[in-house]
């Protein structure tokens, strides 16, 4: 799946990276669900991702610059996954995915609440969220 390069269309290239059932779910959980470790992603997964698939997706997302991985200083075995600038810039895309899902799928109103707030908050709110994510995943600019 690596260097396929079906075409240079930006939509196609994005789908080659993220067009599967799980990649955006993993990013959603890290972005909105505050998960940072493998175990958290597995055990708190609403959709029940399999551990081998999660391992594969995390590896590929890191490989493609959508996540970064580092050791947890407090625990030799724990790995901390963080969003990168590239994945933080998926916020507007995810907002539109949520907005469409809210209107055209039988989405649970409770789960759709955050999607609705982000959608109605507009670009201003998205940018605030993105700034917040940068602070907690990438750290201050001079760090």
- Given the rule CB under 7 A, which residues bind DNA? 1, 20-22, 37-40, 48-53, 55-56, 58-59, 69, 74-79
CB under 8 A: which stretch of 34-42, 50-58, 72-80, 97-105 binds a second copy?
97-105
**Using the rule CB under 8 A, which residue among 3, 43, 77, 108 binds a second copy?**
108
| Alpha-carbon span 126 to 133, nearest angstrom | 10
Rule CB under 8 A: is residue 140 a binding residue for a second copy? Answer: no
* Residues within window 40-69 making contact with a second copy, judged by CB under 8 A: 46-48, 65
What, of a second copy, DNA, none, does residue 39 touch, CB below 5 to 8 Å by kind? DNA
What b/e sequence results for 66-81 when a residue is b if at least 16 CB atoms lie within 10 Å of its CB, and e otherwise?
bbeeeeeeeeeeeebb
Do residues 26 and 61 touch, judged by C-beta distance below 8 A?
A: yes
Residues 6+ apart with CB under 8 A from 84: 65, 66, 67, 68, 137, 138
What, of DNA, a second copy, none, does residue 77 touch, CB below 5 to 8 Å by kind? DNA
Residue 17 or 42: the one with the smaller Cβ distance to a second copy is 17
| Alpha-carbon span 94 to 77, nearest angstrom | 31
């Amino acid at each position: 799946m690596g260097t396929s390069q079906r075409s240079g269309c930006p939509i196609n290239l994005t789908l080659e990276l993220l067009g599967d059932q799980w990649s955006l779910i993993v990013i959603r959980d890290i972005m909105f669900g505050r998960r940072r470790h493998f175990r958290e992603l597995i055990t708190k997964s609403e959709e029940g991702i399999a551990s081998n698939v999660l391992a594969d997706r995390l590896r590929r997302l890191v490989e493609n610059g959508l996540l970064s991985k580092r050791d947890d200083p407090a625990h030799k075995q724990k790995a901390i996954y963080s969003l990168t600038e590239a994945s933080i810039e998926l916020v507007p895309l995810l907002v539109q995915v949520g907005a469409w899902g809210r209107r055209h799928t039988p989405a649970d109103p409770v789960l759709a609440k955050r999607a609705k707030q982000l959608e109605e908050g507009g670009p201003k709110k998205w940018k605030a969220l993105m700034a917040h994510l940068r602070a907690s995943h990438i750290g201050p600019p001079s760090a």
